[in-house]
Structure 1
Amino acid sequence: MKLPGIEVLAAVATAVSPRGAYINDQVQRAHAKAVKAGAIGHPPSTGLVLRRLRSLEKRGLIECVGGPDGYYGFEWRITDAGRAELARRAS
């Protein structure tokens, strides 16, 4: 199963806290839901989620606002451009 950046952006928006561990949890939940609905594939690795986050950062959709914090990882903030992208995709 592929992991599009927009799914990671949505996970940033819905995570309990905008830290890497919570974002990864949202991605894993979305994967489990997709598999239950018939999708196939391994769950995305933590490294893949971080690569997608960095890719979103390069595109200006999110920004890294805090360094690694032990288990919880980096802290991320959605930019105005990221909110606009989520709104565009939702409609």
Structure 2
Amino acid sequence: MWAIGLDDDGNALPASDRPFCGARTRAGGTCRHKVVPYMARCRFHGGKSTGPRTLEGKTRIAEAQRQRWARWRQRQQKADDDKHWKLAGSVDGFRG
């Protein structure tokens, strides 16, 4: 239980007594952060999400992505429109 930051009774160890994470770094060494209690890794190496598994979860995430991209396209369109009007205004004022 020490490897996951717990003492023999299952209580969290103080941070100074917890083991190191040990995850492999990009430099090839091992991570020197302390593990999070009840986990075998530090807060930076807790593991990636595997994503939604159920049809309901996949549908939910697909709808969220559609909404996100719709908002992004709206912001881009507004920025393009603002830029167009700003340029058009500068051209109108340039007539002599």
TM-score bracket for this pair, using the shorter chain length: under 0.3
More relative contact order, 1 or 2 (CA 8 Å, 6+ apart): 1
Q: Normalising by the residue count of structure 2, what TM-score does the alignment of the two structures yield?
A: 0.24
Q: Which has the larger radius of gyration?
A: 2
Normalized per residue, the structure richer in helix is: 1
